[in-house]
Structure 1
């Protein structure tokens, strides 16, 4: 007969490995009574009950997590499966937060502009430009007619007609930001 006695559960060290903590951390919880009811009379640990009590009595933000490999073999089907551990998800969230912080920093430095804000500014500028061009014939027809010795009323009408045609052609072209990227338009 062997010198080892049969344990009702798993050892403290095995439970510590399972939880990804040191055996000393498990011993401290046993001494505090945090795992009461999970310890068998022989000193072994009821793994399922202890795990429930462990997570019920701990702050998840301070808990060390065991790093699970990203790929593992499924024994039944033989196919590979990818598993995202909680650690990987936290790392991804931190990367997204870092990217957002970088974007906000660039905005604060005023080295970048919000796309929608730029579109609104371009539309506003184009409205002002269109109003100035439509008013051009009325403002300058008399000055131009004196230089070219033409009838101011006829010159104003011709200038206004051609300005409207030019603005209509301009309205049909796609703005670079509406095209998706700045390099798509032909010169």
Structure 2
């Protein structure tokens, strides 16, 4: 036989209204006869309560099981971990606001655009400067430009096959 709502409330050190709210929210499960099983529900009550929302001034009863202490410790660890994560996120946001960090996607787009610009300049190099180089060297411009074009494209193909590594 289990405890009544009032007896269970005294057992865990809260008001009977808190137990009624616990039943309504599913924190406390009633037996088929309408009573509360002390063995399972006391531990469940302490494991699911938020110690940061417990009002001070009213001590817990002496019959509170030691399991509640481990539940409180577990909850405190989770709260601490959550706060630490929030601090890390806020620090990262602050670094971004202060411009100490850059967006990885923007860097990749900028590098791609810069690489295209360099490639385009080199592809046009033989046509743009071939005549001037041929005049300085004293050779036929058409053959020099064709040779320059072939070697520039070979070099650009080698570069295109090399993959740059970006830091994570």
Shared fold (TM-score, shorter chain, > 0.5): yes
1:166 aligns with 2:155: yes
**How far does residue 68 in structure 1 lie from its aligned partner after superposition?**
4.7
CA distance in 1, matches of 2:88, 2:53: 26
CA distance in 1, matches of 2:141, 2:132: 8
Cα distance change on mapping 1:164 and 1:91 into 2, 3 Å: same
Gaps of 5+ in 2: 1-5, 25-49, 56-67
1:105 aligns with 2:105: no
TM-score, normalised to structure 1's length?
0.55
Q: State the number of aligned residues.
A: 128
Provide the alpha-carbon RMSD of the alignment: 3.6
From 79, 84, 87, the equivalent of 1:90 is 79
Spell out the pairing of 1:1-187 with structure 2 (5 A cutoff).
Answer: 9=7, 15-16=12-13, 35=15, 38=16, 50-53=18-21, 63-64=53-54, 68-69=69-70, 85-177=74-166, 181=167
* Structure with more helix by fraction: 2
Which structure has more relative contact order (CA 8 Å, sep 6+)? It is: 2
TM-score, normalised to structure 2's length?
0.60
**How far does residue 11 in structure 1 lie from its aligned partner after superposition?**
8.3
CA distance in 2, matches of 1:69, 1:61: 12
SS of 1:121's equivalent in the other structure is helix
SS of 1:110's equivalent in the other structure is coil
